[in-house]
Amino acid sequence: MPETAVTSLPGTNKPLSATPKPFAPEDEVALREALKRCSPSTFEAAVQFRKTGNAEHVPAVVIGIIERFVEPDLRMKLKDADDDLRLIEDLGVDSLTMMEIVILVEDVLMMTINNDELRNLRTVGDVKTFIDCKIRGLPLPKPTKFIPIEHIGAVMPMQPPFLFLNEASVSSTSANGKYKISGQEYFLQGHFKDNPVMPASIMLEALGQLAVLYLLEGVPTEPGKVVSPQTIFFTGCEGVRAHRVCRPGDILTLSIKPKRMKMPLATFEGSIRVGPEKAVIAEEITLTYAFVDAVISPVPISGVAQSDVINGAQAAPAPTPLRAAINA
């Protein structure tokens, strides 16, 4: 490969070049022109990135470019956005605007983004992580996976009536889930007498279950290894606070993010909301886990099939209680 290669090879994810071309004054002029409708801080971040190659500047550039293409009245959302802000639903970015964003990002950060890589970018967080991985030459994160109830039941060690997730999505950086308190939960008969309230301990359990799902579905593994459901156990938690009483009919919106991953311990932060209201915060939930050898099998077609193979014993039709959970 020639040393002067400026761009990455099409279809590969190699860094641009080991020794980037020095940032010349004419490059700065071109950069200023390309970013003329972005904020000054976006331009500054782009200059810093081009001069130093330091990936720390990338999020500011990417957010600045997205902001430039979003209608002015929607830009406020981006100001105090978290990474879950969705490009299409929340920011009104259509696929043509997405192409405009991509072309400007490519131009400014001197990279190439392929069509198939674009499809998985749903949130601001997805875009930031994706570009960061491209710049650093890391493997691209797995796209956010939406996991239906059938699949949750198939992969989780917990089963109804002790499974508190109706749906979930898992990416390499977080997991989100929902659980509707149906009122049929057996423990509500005694918690409390004539006054059904979701136990805080069970809400912490629900967050723990989402963290288990993250370990099984989201955590990057070594080739040939998978996380074994039999090895995951609770070890501790810190800073757990309940802010709101939750009752039948409430829909719990759960989210967890990994804070530290160091075998055999994985520490998460977690929160539960009901609509806009804070219900439970857990500063730390720590689980243990371990890898086992993956079962060698033909390459499956779908994600569901894959899990069925890994958890061969659980591939049977869902037991009756699970169906109840589906309907919850």
* Binding piece for another protein, criterion CB under 8 A, among 56-64, 93-101, 138-146, 178-186: 93-101
Please choose, out of 106-114, 166-174, 186-194, 244-252, the segment that lies near another protein by the rule CB under 8 A: 106-114
Q: Does 97 bind another protein (CB under 8 A)?
A: yes
User: Which span sits near another protein by CB under 8 A: 43-51, 96-104, 128-136, 289-297?
Assistant: 96-104
Q: Which of 6, 74, 76, 103 binds another protein (CB under 8 A)?
A: 103
Q: 37, 178, 225, 260: which one contacts another protein (CB under 8 A)?
A: 37
Question: For another protein, which residue of 1, 18, 96, 316 counts as binding (CB under 8 A)?
Answer: 96
d(CA 78, CA 67): 7
Residues 56-75 binding another protein (CB under 8 A) are 71
Strands 225-227 and 175-180: unpaired
**Contact window for another protein (CB under 8 A) among 92-100, 275-283, 303-311, 316-324:** 92-100
What mask, x for binding another protein by CB under 8 A, covers residues 112 to 131?
A: x-------------------
CB atoms within 10 A of CB 274: 20
Q: In whole angstroms, how far apart are CA 49 and each of 34, 46, 102, 177?
A: 15, 5, 17, 36
Which two structure tokens, joined as six digits, stand for 224?
Answer: 């040939």
Q: Determine the Cα–Cα distance for residues 143 and 242; give it in Å rounded to an integer.
A: 32
Minimum CB distance to another protein, residue 71 (Å): 7
Instruction: Choose between 110 and 165: whose C-beta lies nearer to another protein.
Output: 110
Of residues 112 and 288, the one with the C-beta less far from another protein: 112
Check if the beta carbon of residue 196 is closer than 8 Å to that of residue 190.
no
CA 166 to chain centre: 18
As a residue count, the chain comes to 328
Q: Does 106 bind another protein (CB under 8 A)?
A: yes
- DSSP assignment of 12-47 equals ----S-SSPPP--HHHHHHHHHHTTTS-HHHHHHHH
Q: Which is nearer to another protein, 18 or 96 (CB)?
A: 96
Among 107, 117, 150, 283, binds another protein (CB under 8 A): 107
58 token code pair: 């990338």
Asked if the peptide bond before residue 10 counts as cis, ω within 30 degrees of 0, the response is: no
Nearer to another protein, 76 or 103 (CB): 103
Gap between the Cα atoms of 64 and 55, Å rounded: 15
Give the separation between CA 78 and CA 64, rounded to whole angstroms.
9
Binding footprint of another protein, residue count (CB under 8 A):
10
**Torsion angle, alpha carbons of 129, 134, 136, 140, to 10:** 60
**Segment near another protein (CB under 8 A); pick from 81-89, 95-103, 228-236, 286-294:** 95-103
For residues 279 and 252, the answer to whether their CB atoms sit within 8 Å is yes
| Closest to another protein by CB, 74 or 292 | 74
Residues that bind another protein (CB under 8 A): 37, 71, 96-97, 99-100, 103, 106-107, 112
